[in-house]
């Protein structure tokens, strides 16, 4: 029998499950190497922690580990029902609130090692976290694709720690009651991008699709619907997705550095985002490279010891995908 200790939280409605003890042994190498090791040798642990009957498609997991970069306080590897994430904004906010719950950190600035670089996150109080994300940038503006049954859809491709296709002009109301329709539509967009061979820079898979509409009056600048890699929609406004959005706004000269963008999710939770110019240049970027700061809130929802018994036919979860 194997046991794995986890702490569950939600950030703006989107759940995160952090493995805080008894995770797989991945060594002390750089986080990107450890992620490959996780994928190649311990994928069953990912599946057991995330998938039913212990988890669900909506859950994002995080393996808390020792950092490789010694200037960092912690390392994190994110995963979901279909595989692994480079970075996760709502998950990092959940991580800090989890570390606070465990009394491992106090309010202040903490450096977190990830497979795509170091991020700095500030615990503002027991629930509120500001995340300084990885450099974010727009790769292509106004890329069109034919989506069967829906016609031509046009969007920008941008990096915010994951690859996003961001669509403003889609003719749909972003209502939670239509989550099934929005999920089907965005899955079709993603399949059409794949068929057309449209990717992020260096062939990076575009695994997140983001639709934007007007924010609820007086509440937010914009509302979004975000399709995640495993087919679930993000209940939060998506930290990496909001970073990609800020990169597009900056590239279009529509939103000045230092101002606060209020991004509302499909369930009505809000992240505040702002940006500063980054010092690095990226030759592929169609616009400035920015450093986004994303602020949101999270709450711990449970602590558990997951039990994986050898005789359990679903010891490693139900794999629907």
Binding site for ligand PYC (CB under 6 A): 14, 60, 85, 88-90, 228, 234, 236, 238-240
Q: How far apart are CA 60 and CA 47, in angstroms?
A: 11
* Spatial separation of the C-alpha atoms in residues 43 and 239, rounded to whole Å: 25
Give the span between the Cα atoms of 161 and 157, in whole angstroms: 12
The CB-of-177 to ligand PYC minimum distance in angstroms stands at 21
Q: CB 85 → ligand PYC: shortest distance, Å?
A: 6
Give whichever of 99 and 228 is closer to ligand PYC, judged by the CB atom: 228
Rank residues 154 and 268 by Cβ distance to ligand PYC and give the closer one.
Answer: 268
238 counts as catalytic: yes
> Which among 158, 157, 186 is positioned nearest to 170, based on CA atoms?
186
The least distance separating ligand PYC from the CB of residue 90, rounded to whole angstroms, comes to 3
Nearer to ligand PYC, 61 or 67 (CB): 61
What residues contact residue 80 under an 8 Å CB cut-off, 6+ apart?
50, 59, 60, 61, 228, 229, 230
Smallest separation, CB 271 to ligand PYC (Å): 8
Residues 6 or more apart in contact with residue 284 via CB below 8 angstroms: 137, 139, 201
Residue 308: how many CA atoms within 13 Å on its side-chain side?
20
Which one is catalytic: 65, 72, 88, 248?
88
Minimum CB distance to ligand PYC smaller for 18 or for 85 = 85
Determine whether 228 is an active site residue. Answer: no
Cβ closest to ligand PYC, residue 43 vs residue 57: 57
Residue 240 CB, shortest distance to ligand PYC, in Å, is 3
Q: Which residues are within 8 A (CB) of 130 and not within 5 positions of it... i.e. 6 or more apart?
A: 121, 122, 124, 293, 294, 295
Name the residue nearer to ligand PYC (CB basis): 26 or 93. 93
Count CA atoms closer than 13 A to 134's CA, side-chain side. Answer: 22
Per-position b or e across 137-151, b if 16+ CB within 10 A of its CB: bbbbeebebebeebe
How far apart are the C-alpha atoms of 197 and 233, rounded to whole Å? Answer: 23
Taking the complex as a whole, the smallest distance from the CB of residue 133 to ligand PYC amounts, in Å, to: 9
Which residue among 72, 228, 238, 248 is the active-site one? 238
- Which contiguous run of DSSP H or E holds residue 11? strand 2-11
Spatial separation of the C-alpha atoms in residues 73 and 183, rounded to whole Å: 37
CB atoms within 10 A of CB 231: 16
Which residues are annotated as catalytic?
Answer: 88, 238
């Amino acid at each position: 029998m194997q046991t794995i200790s986890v702490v569950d939280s939600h950030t703006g409605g989107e759940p995160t499950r952090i493995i805080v003890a008894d995770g797989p042994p991945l060594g002390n190498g750089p986080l990107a190497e450890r992620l490959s090791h996780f994928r190649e040798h311990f994928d069953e642990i990912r599946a057991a922690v995330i998938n039913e009957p212990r988890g669900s498609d909506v859950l994002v997991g995080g393996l808390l580990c020792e950092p490789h970069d010694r200037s960092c306080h912690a390392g994190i590897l994110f995963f979901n029902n279909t595989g692994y994430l480079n970075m996760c904004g709502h998950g990092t906010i959940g991580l800090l609130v989890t570390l606070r719950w465990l009394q491992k950190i106090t309010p202040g600035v903490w450096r977190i090692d990830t497979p795509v670089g170091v991020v700095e996150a500030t615990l503002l109080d027991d629930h509120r976290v500001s995340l300084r994300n990885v450099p974010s940038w727009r790769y292509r503006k106004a890329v069109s694709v034919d989506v069967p049954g829906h016609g031509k859809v046009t969007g920008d491709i941008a990096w915010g720690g994951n690859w996003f296709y961001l669509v403003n002009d889609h003719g749909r109301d972003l209502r939670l009651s239509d989550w099934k329709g929005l999920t089907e539509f965005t899955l079709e967009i993603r399949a059409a991008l794949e068929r057309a061979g449209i990717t992020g820079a260096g062939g990076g898979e575009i695994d997140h699709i983001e639709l934007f509409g007007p924010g609820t009056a007086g509440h937010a600048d914009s509302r979004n619907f975000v399709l995640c890699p495993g087919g679930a929609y993000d209940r939060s406004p998506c930290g990496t997705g909001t970073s990609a959005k800020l990169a597009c706004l900056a590239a279009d000269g529509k939103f000045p550095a230092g101002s606060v963008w209020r991004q509302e999710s499909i369930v009505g939770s809000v992240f505040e985002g702002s940006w500063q110019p980054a010092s690095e240049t990226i030759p592929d970027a169609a616009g400035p490279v920015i450093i986004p700061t994303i602020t949101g809130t999270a709450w711990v929802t449970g602590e558990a010891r997951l039990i994986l018994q050898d005789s359990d036919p679903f010891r490693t979860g139900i794999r629907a995908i």
